[in-house]
Structure 1
Amino acid sequence: MGHPIMFDAADPLLARLRQVCLALPDAAEKISHGRPNWYTTKVFAVYGGSVKGDHANPLLSRALLFLPDPEERAALEQDERFHVPAYYGPAGWLALPLDDGPDGGDPGPDWDEVAELVESSYRQTAGTRRVARLDDERGRARD
């Protein structure tokens, strides 16, 4: 028996995150364990997760789960917006709730920051050829 679907397909946060993730070279989406996952060879982003020890807590139900750059991890852990998600946390992943604005209000996430976090996670998991393609695309976009 598969996992139940744990997201709303019409969620506008999911739609925006999907755009960010699928803009990366060779990125694809699959549903795994009831949640959207974006991957190339390995998963680089997940929409939604659980709080370790309290799966009923909705804090991470609409969060970006990502693998932070090891050099940035300590700084992100000091930021109260970031959390260690259940299951993914032991592998070094963090979670950023998307349904709470950058200042704790309603305006929503900082999508530039979300895109940076997704790209950083992608760079760690996608392999050198895909990262080179991404760099090439980014270079052409600046020209």
Structure 2
Amino acid sequence: MEHPQVVDPRHPLVERVRSLCLALPEAVEVQAWGRPTFRAAKPIFTYVSAHMERPFSIVVKTDPDEHRALVQDDRFYGVPYFDRNHWVGTDLDAAHTDWQLLAELIETSYRQVALKRQLVALDAQRPGAEGSL
């Protein structure tokens, strides 16, 4: 059964999320359930479109220690079928999205599922990281 497309994968908001996700080591995009998903090899770390009623949103896996604070912030919400596993959703809006915070949340989500070699590669990309130029 093919799922209907939830969001246009060429929309500028989706493109911006894509650029953040695909900057991470070995990250790939896979269309699944009618939406773009971003994966660290196989595990998903970001979904675009929390659900049909919120097509311009993303879902990320939080650090368990930060999860409670995020869900108490009005910008974030529990997503059906995900909340118990430390995932949160947030809506995307070109004028109001804090893209720096979003980039940090995407990286945190990636870190929750990435392999050790991917984490080493990510840390090497960061300024001042051991082994970076």
TM above 0.5:
yes
Q: Which amino acid aligns with 1:132?
A: V
- The 1:47/1:110 distance shift into structure 2, 3 A limit, reads same
* TM-score, normalised via structure 2 length: 0.89
Q: Return the offset for 1:127.
A: 1.5
Aligned with 1:133: secondary structure? helix
The question of whether the paired residues in 1 share the 8 Å contact of 2:63 and 2:86 is answered with: no
Alpha-carbon distance between aligned partners in 2 of 1:9 and 1:81, rounded to the nearest angstrom: 23
- Percent identity (aligned): 37
Aligned with 2:89: secondary structure? strand
What residue is the counterpart of 2:67 in the other structure?
73
Q: Return the offset for 1:133.
A: 0.7
Unaligned runs of 5+ in 2: none
What residue is the counterpart of 1:24 in the other structure?
24
What residue is the counterpart of 2:108 in the other structure?
120
What residue is the counterpart of 1:86 in the other structure?
80
What residue is the counterpart of 2:15 in the other structure?
15
Q: Return the offset for 1:64.
A: 1.3
Alpha-carbon distance between aligned partners in 1 of 2:109 and 2:72, rounded to the nearest angstrom: 19
What residue is the counterpart of 1:34 in the other structure?
34
Q: Which amino acid aligns with 2:113?
A: T
Q: Which amino acid aligns with 2:19?
A: Q
Q: Which amino acid aligns with 2:80?
A: A
What is the root-mean-square deviation in Å for CA atoms of aligned residues?
A: 1.8
Alpha-carbon distance between aligned partners in 1 of 2:80 and 2:5, rounded to the nearest angstrom: 17
Q: Return the offset for 1:140.
A: 5.8
Deviations 1:12-46 (A, max 9, x none): 11000000000000000001111100002300000
In terms of fraction of residues, the more strand-rich structure is 2
What residue is the counterpart of 1:45 in the other structure?
46
Alpha-carbon distance between aligned partners in 2 of 1:139 and 1:129, rounded to the nearest angstrom: 18
Q: Which amino acid aligns with 2:107?
A: E
* TM-score, normalised via structure 1 length: 0.83
Alpha-carbon distance between aligned partners in 2 of 1:63 and 1:24, rounded to the nearest angstrom: 20
Alpha-carbon distance between aligned partners in 1 of 2:71 and 2:84, rounded to the nearest angstrom: 14
